Every structure is written in structure tokens, then in C-alpha cells.
Amino acid sequence: MKSEIHPKCGPVLYRDISCDQYFLIHGVIPEKAETAVWEEDGKEYPLVNVEVSSASHPFYTGAQRLHTADGRVAKFQKRFGRSAISGALQKSPDKPDAQQAPAEDEPAEK
């Protein structure tokens, strides 16, 4: 077996940043990793931050999260207002309707 081509393995401390929970698991030690002390045994281990783990994923916790990402329709309505589509169909009050009768104030010419 060639030397210096295999990654270093050992205990690695993983931290779930969404719920601030730590896991000590045997894995590949990152080359440039910060270290942290694990409270259970007081030893220092390389630290890897993860965004989702079994402690925070809705499948494992059974809890639902609110999604902050909006869909295309919600983004459109947020940008242009809810009545952007229906406003285009409504008639503007500034312009008189073409089929409206002339005002009664003026005498009609015969």
C-alpha cells in the first residue's frame, strides 16, 4: 500500500449549526479544521460544521419547518402587488368610457 495517499481517519466532532448539537463520529479528518473540546470526555477533536443532521432534519424530528423560499407566483405578487394582474383588466377611472353617453349639460345640436 502506498504511503501518504490515503486520508487520515479518526474521531471527528460534528456540530449541527441549526440546533447546536455535537456528534463524535469516526471519519476522515479534514486537513485544515478548527478544533473543539467535547464536553463528555474533555478531549480536543477536529470540528466539522454541518447544516442538517438527524437532530435537526424534519424527517427524524417529526417537526415541520417554515420554508422561507417563495415560489414564482409569490415573488411576482410581492413585487407587483396582488392586484397587478386584475388591475390591468380593470378600467382606469381617469379615462371616460367610449360607450358612455355625452354629458347632459351641453345642448345637443340638431
Q: What is the pLDDT of residue 74?
A: 80
Cell digits of residue 95:
379615462
Q: What is the pLDDT of residue 26?
A: 95
Q: What is the pLDDT of residue 13?
A: 94
Each domain of the chain, given as residue ranges in start order, spans: 9-61
Segments of the chain scoring below 50 in pLDDT: none
Q: What is the pLDDT of residue 89?
A: 58
Distances, alpha carbon 103 to alpha carbons 96, 98, 109, in Å: 11, 13, 13
Amino acid at site 106: E
Q: What is the pLDDT of residue 103?
A: 60
Total-model pTM: 0.51
Q: What is the pLDDT of residue 110?
A: 57
Distances, alpha carbon 26 to alpha carbons 14, 23, 42, 78, in Å: 10, 10, 17, 47
The rounded distance, in Å, linking the Cα atoms of 47 and 11 is 10
